């Protein structure tokens, strides 16, 4: 008789890990939904800055849910807690200090792989301000948000990367690292299209906590 192994039993449905399901979604479906998102918000605003703010707000909700999903599905990151004025992170039952570079690395690698299928090319620290970091060398096609959006000449400064900046802000804020996150075009010599840089400027409270942790 051929023995059949028993599947692992879970006493509580909440203990059962979430299925990862399909790792990709239809590019055409994303293009359609994002195009509709941009067009709808365009009818609700009077200027480019307000349009970018609305896209950032939409991305913020996505970022908060991405962090929650990774926490419950992959168990790579859990909710931040403050204990004795120190930031602690529970990771598979163990505690370790959470630091600024740790959360940046998490966004730069794990979150980026979930969103775009690969880690971001470059993470840099600002040279003028201690509280600024940049995710750089992002081509327009790579971010996907530009691939199917045609920007009129009278909206030449409009940056669809505001949606991605909102996602990053949502992840950071939900993890206990409040920051202002913006998307900026950076011209590249010899190339017609500029690249996008995601600029992260952390709140003062984050820097004070980092200083306490030494």
Give a three-class secondary structure readout of the chain: CCCCCCCCCCCCHHHCCCCCCCCCCCHHHHHHHHHHHHHHHHCCCCCHHHHHHHHHHHHHHHHHHHHHHHHHHCCCCCCEEEECCEEEEEECCEEEECCHHHHHHHHHHHHHHHHHCCCCCEEEECCCCCCEEEEEEECHHHHCCCCCCCCCHHHCCCCCCHHHHHHHHHHHHHCCCCEEEEEEEECCCCCCCCEEEEEEEECHHHHHHHHHHC
Q: Among 8-17, 105-114, 159-168, whose mean pLDDT is lowest?
A: 8-17
The whole model's pTM is what?
Answer: 0.77
Mean predicted confidence (pLDDT) in 190-197:
76
Q: How far is CA 142 from CA 136, 168, 189, in A?
A: 12, 16, 19
Nearby residues of 122 by Cβ (< 8 Å), 6 or more positions away: 135, 136, 137
pLDDT at 204 over 60: yes
Q: How confident is the model at residue 16 (pLDDT cuts 50, 70, 90)?
A: low
User: Which range is least confidently modeled, 17-21, 48-52, 114-118, 121-125?
Assistant: 17-21
43 vs 81, which has greater pLDDT? 43
Place of tokens 């979430």: 18
Give whole-number Cα distances, 122 to 47, 119, 125, 198, in Å: 31, 9, 10, 11
Of the ranges 94-108, 109-123, 156-170, which one carries the lowest mean pLDDT score? 94-108
Please, what is the Cα angle at 185 between 180 and 191, to 5 degrees? 155
pLDDT at 75: 55
Which position has the higher pLDDT, 99 or 18? 99
Give the mean model confidence (pLDDT) for residues 22-43.
82
Domains of the chain, earliest start first:
47-213 (3.30.1380.20)
pLDDT tier, 186 (very low <50, low <70, confident <90, very high otherwise): confident
**pLDDT tens per residue, range 134-161:** 998 665 445 677 777 777 777 778 888 8
Band the pLDDT of 58: cuts 50, 70, 90. very high
**pLDDT band with cut points at 50, 70 and 90 for residue 199:** very high
The encoded tokens of residue 194 equal 């500029």
């Amino acid at each position: 008789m051929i023995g059949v192994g028993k599947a692992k039993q879970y006493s509580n449905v909440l203990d059962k890990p979430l299925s990862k399901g399909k790792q990709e979604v239809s590019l055409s479906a994303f293009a359609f939904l994002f195009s509709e998102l941009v067009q709808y918000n365009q009818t609700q605003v009077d200027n480019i800055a307000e349009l970018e703010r609305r896209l950032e707000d939409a991305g913020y909700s996505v970022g908060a849910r991405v962090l929650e999903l990774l926490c419950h599905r992959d168990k790579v990151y859990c909710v931040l807690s403050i204990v004795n004025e120190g930031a602690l992170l529970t990771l598979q039952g163990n505690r370790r200090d959470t630091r600024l570079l740790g959360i940046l690395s998490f966004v730069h690698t794990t979150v980026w792989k979930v969103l775009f299928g690969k880690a971001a090319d470059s993470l840099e620290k600002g040279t003028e301000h201690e509280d600024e970091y940049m995710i750089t060398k992002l081509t327009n096609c790579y971010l996907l948000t530009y691939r199917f959006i045609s920007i009129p000449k009278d909206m030449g400064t409009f940056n669809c990367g505001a949606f991605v900046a909102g996602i990053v802000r949502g992840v950071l804020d939900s993890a206990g690292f409040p920051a202002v996150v913006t998307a900026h075009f950076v011209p590249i010599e010899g190339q017609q299209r500029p690249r996008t840089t995601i600029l992260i400027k952390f709140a003062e409270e984050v820097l004070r906590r980092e200083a306490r942790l030494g």
